[in-house]
A and B are shown apart, each in its own frame.
Chain A
Amino acid sequence: TQLLEQSPQFLSIQEGENLTVYCNSSSVFSSLQWYRQEPGEGPVLLVTVVTGGEVKKLKRLTFQFGDARKDSSLHITAAQPGDTGLYLCAGPYNQGGKLIFGQGTELSVKP
Chain B
Amino acid sequence: RKEVEQDPGPFNVPEGATVAFNCTYSNSASQSFFWYRQDCRKEPKLLMSVYSSGNEDGRFTAQLNRASQYISLLIRDSKLSDSATYLCVVRFRAGRRALTFGSGTRLQVQP
Q: Does chain A bind chain B?
A: no
